[in-house]
Amino acid sequence: MNLHKSPYFRLTLFYVLIVMTISILFSVVIYNISSNELDSGLGHQIRALQNMNQVIIIPRPTQEIEQIRLDQLEQSQNSLRLDLIYLNLVILVLSSGLSYFLAKKTMRPIEETLKAQNCFTADASHELRTPLTAMKTEVEVALRDKNINLNEAKSLLKSNLEEIAKLESLSNALLKIARSQETVKTNFEPISLPEIVTEAYEKIEILARKKSIIFENHFNDLAVQGDHQSLKELFVILLDNAIKYSEVKSKVIITIAKDKKQAIITIKDHGIGIKASDLPYIFNRFYRVDSSRSKQQVEGYGLGLSIARNIAEMQDGVITVKSQPGRGSEFKLIFPLYQS
């Protein structure tokens, strides 16, 4: 790596430059003040000696005395200059080490964010390319077939339409990811939790009906301060997952309860559950548990929970999960209560 292009090197240099500019400026000020004080101090001493000389020794000529004073002053100034140069050299060595350490500390979170961003772009490109490649291959094969009939052409278009729907849902999810990170707090308003959960349920009701999933609600009439649209999105994601990852006719329990100054919302399903080894990663973007298996069975891109966590954190909330494979999962949300 080219050393002068390395961000660590540049940042270290920048910090050292700041420290050394301040140190040299201080040294110049100290040097000037000390020189003046030395000068006037020597003047006092010589005048005192002259007064003594009048009494005990033969007085020396004024020129000679002035020369002694100037020599003394120069000697003291030289020694002060040398001390300050040594001090600045020590500061240079110390500040270089410290600046390198600080530069590393400053750069680490930036590098991690960049790495995550690159990972995200690579994953997103991969997910976008998969349906595009499928569509391209199908169209190419169809174009090579000179005897293609209307039914075959229609089935090709139908298959392409499915891939387009996947692309649409992926681009929507990507857009939601971006939006979930920029919730503006000025849009915040008091939101009734039972009302917002009911609104979210209405959006996924049809899926629940298809799988005959039973919902059991234990609602306390509590409110939080937040962005209406984002909170609804958050509950839609959690309820949708509870349905997606549950067997038919299974039960989902939603509880809204109060704990001191907090609202606790739990969504407990009795579905397939999540292995302990996967739990730390399910909130990561594009993470899907055993993706080859769940991709065949359940549609999704592994973006829902990442959006959900962004939304919860933007509204000063926390999202946690407990799960046991084969027994179900419980997602818990904690928000500060709205106090009117």
Q: Give me the residues that bind ligand ADP (CB under 6 A), please.
A: 241-242, 245, 269, 271-274, 282, 287-289, 294, 300-306, 329
Query: Quick one: 47 or 211, whose CB is closer to ligand ADP?
Result: 211
> How far apart are alpha carbons 302 and 284 in whole angstroms?
8
> How far apart are alpha carbons 99 and 21 in whole angstroms?
14
One-letter identity of residue 52: M
Query: Quick one: 40 or 172, whose CB is closer to ligand ADP?
Result: 172
Task: Give me the least distance between CB of 318 and ligand ADP, in Å please.
Answer: 17
Task: Give me the least distance between CB of 290 and ligand ADP, in Å please.
Answer: 7
Task: Give me the least distance between CB of 96 and ligand ADP, in Å please.
Answer: 46
Closest residue to ligand ADP: CB criterion: 300
One-letter identity of residue 35: S
Query: Quick one: 271 or 317, whose CB is closer to ligand ADP?
Result: 271
Phi, psi at 266, each rounded to 5°: -120, 140
Query: Quick one: 15 or 301, whose CB is closer to ligand ADP?
Result: 301
| Cβ atoms of 334 and 318 closer than 8 Å | yes
Query: Quick one: 43 or 325, whose CB is closer to ligand ADP?
Result: 325
Task: Give me the least distance between CB of 113 and ligand ADP, in Å please.
Answer: 20
| Cβ atoms of 107 and 12 closer than 8 Å | no
Q: Which residues pair with 223 in a beta bridge?
A: 192
> How far apart are alpha carbons 45 and 195 in whole angstroms?
89
Task: Give me the least distance between CB of 168 and ligand ADP, in Å please.
Answer: 15
Whose structure tokens read 């509870």? Answer: 242
